[in-house]
Amino acid sequence: MDRRNLAQRRYLQRFMPLMVSYAVILIGVSAAQRHGSIGGATLGLMSVLPAIPLVGVIVVMGMYLREERDEFIRNRLVMAMLGGTGLLLAATTIWGFLENNGVVGHPPTFLVFPFWCGAMGISQCAMALHARLTNPAE
């Protein structure tokens, strides 16, 4: 039996097709660029295509926040998103100063969203550990 609530099921029903389409588009665009000389507007369009499903994922995350009725779950997700944003801002600020002084190179900007998702995951782990350590009887 599925223990997810309605908002969580809707989130997964929206999220999974977007991630599958992202993978298919990314593989297709990479293959097309490797096997041919593409330029101009076609190259611009092909460069933007992989971002479209990821923008969709961001929209789906916002929809999930709006639809989630369990205040505890919604609060934990908001706190994880804020923690992820804080971690990402701190890391990019430090990286920016290192880059400005020629210590490190410029990373691909498209990695910001995956890094934010990772930072959000780190925040969720930290929140779970904090809850476990401060409420050991539960």
pLDDT tens, position by position, 79-112: 999 999 999 999 999 999 999 999 999 999 999 9
Q: What is the pTM of this model?
A: 0.86
| Nearest alpha-carbon partner for 49 in 28, 72, 65 | 28
Which whole number is the average pLDDT over 33-52?
90
Which whole number is the average pLDDT over 117-126?
97
Please tell me whether residues 64 and 80 are part of one structural domain.
no
Tokens in use for 19?
Answer: 């991630």
**Number of independent structural domains in the chain:** 2
Tell me, what DSSP letter sits at residue 105? Answer: -
Do 120 and 64 touch, CB atoms closer than 8 A?
Answer: no
Which pLDDT belongs to residue 135? 85
Tokens in use for 46?
Answer: 């092909």
Please tell me whether residues 57 and 91 are part of one structural domain.
no
Hey, what long-range contacts does 87-92 have (CB within 8 A, 24 or more apart)?
Answer: 87/119, 87/122, 87/123, 88/112, 88/115, 88/116, 88/119, 91/115, 91/119
Please tell me whether residues 32 and 90 are part of one structural domain.
no
Last residue of a domain, one of 36, 69, 102: 69
Does position 125 have pLDDT exceeding 90, yes or no? Answer: yes
Which pLDDT belongs to residue 4? 85
Please tell me whether residues 63 and 79 are part of one structural domain.
no
Does position 62 have pLDDT exceeding 70, yes or no? Answer: yes
Residue numbers of the domain that contains 41: 1-69
